[in-house]
Structure 1
Amino acid sequence: MSKKVKTFRPKARVPKGLRDMPAPLVRAEQRMLARIREVYERYGFDPLETSAFEYADALGKFLPDEDRPNEGVFSFQDDDEQWLSLRYDLTAPLARYVAENYDALPKPFRRYQTGPVWRNEKPGPGRYRQFTQFDADTVAAPGVAADAEMCMMGADCLEALGIPRGSYRIRANNRKVLDGLLETIGLEGEPGSPTYMTVLRAIDKYDRLGRQGVELLLGPGRKDESGDFTKGAGLSPSQITAVLDYVESGVGEGVTDRNLVLEGWRKVVGESIVGREGIDELAEMDALFTAAGYGTDRIEFNSWIVRGLGYYTGPVFESDLLFEVKDEKGNPVRFGSVGSGGRYDGLVERFKGVKVPATGFSIGVSRLQSALELLGKLDVEDVQAPVVVLTLDAANMAGYQTMVSELRAAGIRAELYLGGAGMKAQLKYADKRGAPVAVIEGEDERAKDEITLKDLILGAEMSKEIEDNTAWSEGQPAQVSVPRARLVEEVVAMLARHRDVRGHHG
């Protein structure tokens, strides 16, 4: 007798760093996207869709995690031996699109786009390998008025999502100010060099790691709680002190004059031409903020905003949530940045060979959604669950199909039961679906040209109040028989009684 071969059954599990989203969260995200889209449209941006895959050489090497395989992206080699990568953001694909269609596009070119992006990074709480972004960018706009517009639009988006003024801040800086600082302290290497980027990424972590953590990253390096070691920039003690003094000169709570911050930064950059140019650009942006009524309760200048991506060349900005909430275990959670952006004048140049100025703003939809959920401001209102038409007689499927079609034609969400079970199981299914009404037509009803409507919401409420089975069977006010011709009219009336109840689970 041969030995029975064991059937392999893979374990059902979502990959690490990824997640599934049930219907309520999908709908909540769609409502978020609709509100953001409304703001982007109001500012005059048009939609664009680009491919999820790009040639790897088109994406460039701009991600912070350069020590990880494939530069932090998911890649594979196609059958023509060219490397393809899942997009890690929506900006690099935009640069490719603009370069490919440059002559046909109006300039400035203003577009918005939303969709998933992927990062081959170490996952953690609230940090996924796939997440949704919603970007708006202006290409071929050389002046910082375009950068100022991004900051103001970011503030408008957060308020449109229900985050009150004072609970968020758009924080802006300029890469040129950082260039001037590093030039002043005698840092060797051009902007974009490994040492330069290590310094910027250390500063970028100030709000999370504090002075001591950043000091280690500017010096020999830092070991995190998991034991992973990050190599530092190797600056001298005097250079580290100068950088930290600048970082801690940023705007504090209650400061109401952005010009005071800029005056302090002028002393930091000294005679650096590029540093002073960066401060002048921020001063121009400040004048536009003030003219439009955006005070420091919405937009501030902040010294530790540098952005970790290597392609930024001018103003950079982040949208930070200031409130602290508790997670499901009661632990305090502060979400920090939920959006960011900046000027990237060299990204299209990689393709065209000439500078094409551009700036953009990206909202991290997945992270913002998690924050709104904990804050209690996520719009998770259920849609009306469907009316379920029971199928008690296989020979009468055409009649049941006619009923569900009549309901749908009247604008009522309705579904035909297709599971093949008996009446009791079908009613249990309708209840689990949160259906407000079940439509029943068996042989007796059909003989009388009637249907039975079961009000499942009322029935669930009554079952909590009536304990005596006799009283329940004698009452049955939640179940009525009506003429078949009045199906739509009676269902509409039954739904109207529960207009505020979008779904139930008895």
Structure 2
Amino acid sequence: MAKDKKPRRPRAETPKGFRDYFGAEVAERNQMLSQIGEVYHLYGFEPLESSAVETVEALGKFLPDVDRPNEGVFAWEEDGDWLALRYDLTAPLARVAAQFRNDLPTPYRRYAMGPVWRNEKPGPGRFRQFYQCDADTVGSASVAADAEICAMLSDTLERVGIPRGDYLVRINNRKVLNGVLEAVGLNPAEDRATADAVLRTIDKWDKVGAGGVRELLTTGRKDASGAFIDGVGLGNDVADTVIAFMQAKGTDAAATIANLRDVVQGSASGTTGIDELEQMGELLAAQGYGPDRTEIDPSIVRGLGYYTGPVFEAELTFEITDAKGRVQQFGSVAGGGRYDDLVKRFTGQAVPGTGISIGVDRLLAALRAKGRMDGKSVGPVVVTVMDKGRMADYQAMVGELRSAGIRAEVYLGNPKNFGNQLKYADKRLSPVAVIQGEDEAARGVVQVKDLVLGARIAQSASLEEWKSQPAQREIARSDLVAEIRKMLEQEG
């Protein structure tokens, strides 16, 4: 008789394209979300928490993985309907705005924060689950709404620790690009597929440059791996006009506007887009958002097909060193624009909208790259256990500390080996350990061990410093809260 096989144990590993987040990372993200929320709230936006699951029909045909329609999401069938995890926070907003249109104010100003999921090929720093932080105005066709979003984005970056001079909010308008296409005989309304292909191609400008974009717009090119990528099939004269549009940025906003007017001559759509760009620049300048914070840049396209007017990106301009020691700019951490047709899909009525989405994980990575976040957190004060029979006394200590707003915990492992308790406190990055045995309890005192100072003294191995600043000392039990608060303040 064959022996029964042992049950297969599951592998303890995260699925491909996903990762786990621990203590300091979660704390830093929560802090950033709180800071971003403060700015959004200051501008009058209200929070919204929508479902993480939407119908595929509600998500529409604007999925991020254009080479695999309807496969850019994690989807499953249930009772004849296809459901999917949301791939961004804008498509759910369009559904909410349509579903509750009779209850919501117009315009509806909301912000949302949370994870999104994309069923795309993962790579270094590219995950299938990541956080976004959005703010949108639905129901206003005014260019002032777009300008306000750009101003708020600027304020948000500065609030989280990106100083002026280290970022730029770059602005363009899809109508201008449509005007360029019309000027060369390509009508986006009649040939949406080709127009979208052009958009996706010029969105690669930063990666492949003018020459690469020209090849992709015409006959195609080989990528870095040697694989051939088919071109859009445009003629050289059409590609030249598109390239001229991408290079229309002048020495200042006025020069850029003039260059764009030359490129889109004869296009009503293009002229309207340029007028909107000019108006946005005036509105931003009136509020003090000048060229050190915002600029008009024709190279900003945004890849998603639902944008219909102004589009914008926040680019971090400082340099970092990659894993191979190469110096490069950090790049974009936020993007958005105007989408006037998303809600219309549900209602049949035109409902204008505009908004921004911040990539929280990229923004955190930028702050760490600049040394403004260290990925470390301060652990709780640890009250050690010298006598299991006196657990109530130890719990009373942490109760007093917590009531005073000091993070604290009692060691709940095996107390037999006191050294293990201190190792635990070190692993928890605890600033202070509290020690009270029978003798200390009888005398009404406790020992407090400054673990931060102790580690510093251990590194310097200075006997003089150890004598002048003992890391462990005895205090009155009644002074526990006051003394620990003082120690924490001294350590910052």
**What is the count of residue pairs matched by the alignment?**
490
1:110 Cα offset (Å): 0.7
The residue aligned with 1:419 is 413
Contact 1:136 1:360 in 2 (8 A): yes
* Alignment partners' CA distance in 2, 1:227 and 1:99: 47
Q: For residue 338 of structure 1, what is the aligned residue in structure 2?
A: 333
- Could you tell me how far apart the structure 1 residues matched to 2:336 and 2:88 are? 11
- Cα 1:103–1:279 change in 2 (3 A) is same
Corresponding position: 1:401 with 2:395: yes
Q: Which deviates further from its counterpart, 133-142 or 286-295?
A: 286-295
2: CA distance between counterparts of 1:191 and 1:287?
33
Q: Which amino acid aligns with 2:240?
A: T
Distance in 1, matches of 2:166 and 2:422, equals: 46
2 CA distance for matches of 1:250 and 1:386?
53
Q: 2:249·2:298 contact (CA, 8 Å) conserved in 1?
A: yes
Q: What pairs up with 1:335-484 in 2 under 5 angstroms?
A: 335-378=330-373, 382-383=377-378, 385-422=379-416, 423-464=418-459, 477-484=470-477
Tell me the CA shift for residue 440 of structure 1. Answer: 2.3
Which residue identity lines up with residue 404 of structure 1 in the other structure?
Answer: V
Contact 1:407 1:414 in 2 (8 A): yes
Worse-superposed segment, 438-447 or 334-343 = 438-447
Distance 1:63 1:219 in 2: 25
- Tell me the secondary structure at the aligned position of residue 103 of structure 1: coil
The equivalent residue for 1:313 is 308
Q: For 1:499, which of 475, 489, 492 is the aligned residue?
A: 489
Relative to 1, partners in 2 of residues 1:450 and 1:64: Cα closer, same or farther, differing over 3 Å?
closer
- Residue 209 of structure 2 is matched in structure 1 by 210
Cα distance change, pair 438–243 in 1 and its aligned pair in 2 (3 A) = same
Q: Which residue of 2 aligns with 1:49?
A: 49
Identify the residue that residue 169 of structure 2 maps to in structure 1.
170
Show the counterpart of 1:120.
119
Whether contact under 8 Å (2:182, 2:188) holds in the other structure is no
CA distance in 1 between partners of 2:325 and 2:490 (Å): 31
User: Cα distance, 1:494 vs. partner?
Assistant: 4.3
Paired position in structure 2 for 1:67: 67
Question: Residue 113 of structure 2: SS of its match in structure 1?
Answer: strand
User: 1:59-91: CA deviations, max 9, x gaps?
Assistant: 11113421136341111112x121111111111
SS in 2 for 1:334: strand
CA contact (8 A) 2:406 2:485 kept: no
Q: What amino acid is aligned across from residue 98 of structure 1 in structure 2? A: A
CA contact under 8 A between 2:381 and 2:432: conserved in structure 1?
yes
User: What is the aligned partner in structure 1 of residue 268 from structure 2?
Assistant: 273
Give the deviation of 1:414 after TM superposition: 0.8
Instruction: Report the Cα distance in structure 2 between the residues aligned to 1:197 and 1:141, rounded to whole angstroms.
Output: 25
Alpha-carbon distance, 1:328 to partner: 4.8
Distance verdict in 2 for CA 1:442–1:230, change over 3 Å: same
Question: How much has 1:380 moved relative to structure 2?
Answer: 5.2
Change (3 A) 1:297 1:77: same
Deviations 1:337-393 (A, max 9, x none): 11111110100000111000111111111112112211223375734x211112233
Per-residue CA deviation, residues 82-128 of structure 1 (Å, 9 max, x unaligned), is 11111111111111001010011111111111111112222233322
User: Which string of whole-angstrom CA distances, capped at 9 and with x for unpartnered residues, describes residues 461-502 of structure 1?
Assistant: 44445688xx98x99944344454x2xx23532442452436
**Where does 1:26-105 land on structure 2 (aligned, <5 Å)?**
26-68=26-68, 70-78=70-78, 80-105=79-104
Q: Does residue 22 of structure 1 match 2:22?
A: yes
Give the whole-Å Cα distance in 2 for the aligned partners of 1:261 and 1:465. Answer: 59
Provide the residue aligned with 2:255 in structure 1: 260
Gaps of 5+ in 1: none
Deviations 1:1-23, CA, capped at 9 Å, x for gaps: 96573453333222232222222
Amino acid paired to 1:479: Q
Contact 1:173 1:302 in 2 (8 A): yes
What RMSD over aligned residues (CA atoms) do the two structures have, in Å?
A: 2.6
Q: 2:480 aligns with which of 465, 480, 490?
A: 490
User: 1:196 offset after TM fit, Å?
Assistant: 0.9
| Amino acid aligned to 2:132 | Q
Say if 1:328 and 1:190 are closer, same or farther in 2 by CA, change over 3 A: same
- Is this contact kept in 2: 1:437–1:491, CA < 8 A? no
Helix, strand or coil: the match of 1:67? coil
CA distance in 2, matches of 1:86, 1:294: 37
